[in-house]
Amino acid sequence: MCATIVLMHATDVKAIAAASRKKAGPAEKDSAARLTALMHHVFLYDRGNQLRVIEETGLSITQCKALLELGGLGQETHAWQVSDLAERFGVSVPSMSRAVDALVKAKLATRVEDPDDRRVRRVEITAQGKDLVATLVTVRMSGIESFVATLSAAQRRKLDAAVEALLDREDLAQTYEHLKGRERS
């Protein structure tokens, strides 16, 4: 189980909030509050099944984030350097290196030689890691599907229209296409 609880320092939270205040005006803050309310409800709608499954893996949050990134949801998987994963998630390289070591030990990831530079080691997901990512995505999708099933047809149309308007973003569109493809499999 994930017994280690990491708390942010108050200064970190203040810095994050201050950076957000510089970018967000009243309209953006209201939209963020609406989206946060929806995400909170959807995330816990299925009685926290997604959290339970993550807890049962015994992986830390950093390990889960790294595994999900290695899993390449919405794009082809590729090998990452530990330093790039650390930068992506705003953690130290030693912290990410420990997280990757645990993933390798659990046979969820492996270290491979960089084809262009033999001195560089990269991390890539294993078949077992891909299976775990697929499980996490399935649990998440099941919870969201259960929530969406509670919406009226009019509410679903409004939700679909709002999300559709965001799918012109390449990152969201790629993830959507990947998830749509999973349905057909």
User: Which H helix or E strand runs over 40?
Assistant: helix 26-45
- pLDDT tens for the chain, 185 residues: list them: 344 444 445 457 677 666 666 677 889 888 888 888 988 888 888 888 888 998 999 999 999 999 999 997 655 688 999 999 999 998 999 999 999 999 999 999 999 988 888 888 999 999 999 999 999 988 988 999 999 999 999 999 999 999 999 999 988 888 888 777 766 55
Task: Determine contact, residues 109/65, Cβ cutoff 8 Å.
Answer: no
Dist CA 117 CA 46 (whole Å):
46
Burial string for 37-54 (b: 16+ CB within 10 Å, else e) reads: eeeeebeebbeeebeeeb
List the Cα angle 55/61/63 in 5-degree steps. 100
Assign 125 to helix, strand or coil.
Answer: strand
pTM of the complete model beyond 0.85: no
